[in-house]
């Protein structure tokens, strides 16, 4: 895999129809089941990969449906399939002293959110040294549009920090499709 391929993570999302609305969090945690428990997901969950979970994708639905899986050792990814983004729960999800990231894009408004970062339970700016490898390797130059270039940069930061980039196997990792009951987390 070339650096260009490694950094063109946005293409993987576009190919699977997941680029129109993209909402994902990365949480430092021992395993994805611990995060599912912290999210207070309903007991009825479905084991599947993201390729299978995409069938429950309804971005305009108010029902909170997420797919949670391992990202890499010590990291978990939470992909929002419908409902709210769960960003307000981020500071409650990492293991003590842990970190979490949130990134979203909405094609309807044509906007990429700046990534959100939580460290040791508090909201902070992403440390500058997290950006350096991605910038030095040119991740911000990969893509055919301004949106693709920004998303590839942000996704590269997540890849370097968590130890795993988005690729074909990112979608086939086993995880859990979960529904978060209404009122579990206050919407801020």
Average of pLDDT values for 93-118? 89
Residue 69 has a pLDDT of: 97
Task: Pick the more confident residue, 83 or 102.
Answer: 102
- Give residues with Cβ within 8 angstroms of 21, minimum separation 6: 59, 104, 105, 106, 107, 108
Task: Pick the more confident residue, 127 or 111.
Answer: 127
Mean pLDDT of the chain: 88
How many angstroms separate the first and last alpha carbons of the chain? 41
* Residue-range domain boundaries for the chain: 3-180
Write the pLDDT tens digit of every residue in 2-27: 555 788 999 989 999 888 889 999 99
- Give residues with Cβ within 8 angstroms of 69, minimum separation 6: 32, 49, 50, 76, 77, 79, 173, 174, 175, 176
Work out the burial of residue 181: count CB atoms within 10 Å of its CB; fewer than 13 is exposed, 13-18 middle, 19 or more buried: exposed
Task: Pick the more confident residue, 72 or 108.
Answer: 72
Q: pTM value?
A: 0.91
Strands 122-124 and 46-48: unpaired
């Amino acid at each position: 895999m070339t650096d260009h391929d490694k950094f063109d993570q946005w293409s993987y999302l576009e190919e699977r129809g997941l680029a129109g609305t993209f909402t994902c969090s990365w949480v430092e945690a021992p395993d994805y089941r611990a995060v599912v428990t912290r999210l207070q997901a309903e007991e009825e969950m479905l084991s599947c990969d993201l390729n299978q979970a995409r069938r429950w994708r309804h971005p305009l639905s108010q029902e909170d449906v997420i797919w949670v899986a391992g990202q890499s050792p010590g990291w978990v990814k939470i992909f929002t399939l419908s409902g709210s983004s769960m960003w307000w729960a981020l500071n409650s999800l990492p293991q003590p002293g842990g970190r979490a990231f949130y990134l979203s894009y909405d094609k309807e408004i044509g906007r990429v959110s700046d990534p959100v970062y939580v460290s040791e339970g508090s909201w902070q700016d992403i440390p500058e040294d997290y950006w350096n490898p991605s910038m030095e390797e040119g991740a911000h130059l990969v893509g055919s549009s301004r949106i693709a270039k920004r998303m590839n940069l942000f996704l590269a930061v997540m890849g370097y920090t968590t130890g795993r980039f988005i690729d074909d196997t990112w979608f086939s990792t086993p995880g859990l499709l979960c529904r978060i009951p209404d009122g579990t987390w206050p919407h801020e």
